[in-house]
């Protein structure tokens, strides 16, 4: 009976993580679309989504603590809840980074230069990492978690490509120098999102194997 109740609560935890992951994905895609289209109203929606992510973190944290106190989990179950507590911290940070990108829209129009770069590709890559890392947790899929960790190289390569392209743009257009600094910052925020998704995947590996390898 106790086990059935525990399994039901674990299902609630999984669904809550999926929901929080979806909010993170919406925040990233919304922030980048707001940038590419210079859409102020969309950037405000991203900030509202970030507030939802913060609330979700509190709700999941409360559920995890309840599970720890009421069910006294051991071994794999304990690892699973511990991993979830770590994961939501990284997911909350992903929301913060997306909000940081959205806030840039409020004070600068980058549409002339940003569409020439790989920002959209970088956002797509980070969203894939976030989606796959949460899927790996819910499905207990070690292979998928390891693929997410390896995929961070794709995001890092795109970051290097953007830096190189920005240097070339600055050489040809020095009057927009400040804008290019903002673009580098945006790329850096996306790179950090990739790092947080990697962290999530590493905690998934821990929840399955008991080993936590920091890259």
Q: What is the pTM of this model?
A: 0.92
Domain map of the chain by residue range?
Answer: 2-209
pLDDT at 2: 62
Write out the two tokens for 55: 């609330």
Q: Provide the phi-psi class of 38: left if phi over 0, else alpha when psi is between -120 and 50, else beta.
A: left
| Rounded Cα gap, residues 72 and 70, in angstroms | 6
Per-residue model confidence as pLDDT tens digits over 68-83? 998 888 888 899 999 9
| Rounded Cα gap, residues 161 and 48, in angstroms | 31
Q: CB atoms < 10 A from the CB of 74, how many?
A: 8
The residue-averaged pLDDT of 131-141 equals 94
Write out the two tokens for 170: 């600055």
pLDDT class of 206 with cuts at 50, 70, 90:
very high
pLDDT class of 141 with cuts at 50, 70, 90:
very high
**Spatial contact of 24 and 91, defined as CB atoms under 8 Å apart:** yes
Per-residue model confidence as pLDDT tens digits over 92-116? 999 999 999 999 988 888 777 776 6
Q: Which CATH architecture has domain 2-209?
A: Up-down Bundle (1.20)
The residue-averaged pLDDT of 85-91 equals 97
What 8-state DSSP symbol labels residue 38? T
Per-residue model confidence as pLDDT tens digits over 177-202? 777 888 899 999 999 999 999 999 99
Mean pLDDT of the chain: 91
């Amino acid at each position: 009976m106790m086990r059935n109740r525990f399994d039901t609560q674990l299902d609630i935890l999984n669904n809550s993580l999926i929901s929080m992951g979806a909010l993170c994905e919406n925040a990233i895609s919304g922030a980048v679309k707001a940038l590419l289209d210079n859409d102020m109203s969309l950037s405000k929606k991203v900030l509202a989504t970030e507030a939802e992510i913060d609330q979700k973190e509190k709700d999941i944290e409360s559920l995890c603590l309840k599970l720890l106190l009421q069910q006294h989990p051991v071994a794999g179950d304990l690892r699973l809840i511990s991993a979830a507590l770590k994961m939501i911290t990284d997911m909350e940070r992903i929301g913060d980074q997306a909000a940081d990108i959205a806030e840039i829209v409020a004070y600068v129009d980058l549409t002339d230069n940003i569409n020439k770069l790989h920002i959209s590709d970088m956002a797509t890559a980070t969203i894939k990492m976030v989606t796959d890392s949460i899927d790996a947790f819910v499905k207990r899929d070690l292979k998928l978690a390891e693929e997410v960790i390896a995929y961070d190289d794709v995001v890092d390569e795109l970051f290097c490509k953007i830096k190189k392209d920005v240097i070339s743009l600055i050489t040809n257009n020095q009057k927009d120098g400040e804008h290019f600094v903002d673009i580098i910052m945006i790329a850096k925020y996306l790179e950090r999102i990739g790092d947080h998704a990697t962290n999530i995947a590493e905690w998934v590996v821990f929840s399955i194997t008991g080993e936590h390898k920091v890259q």
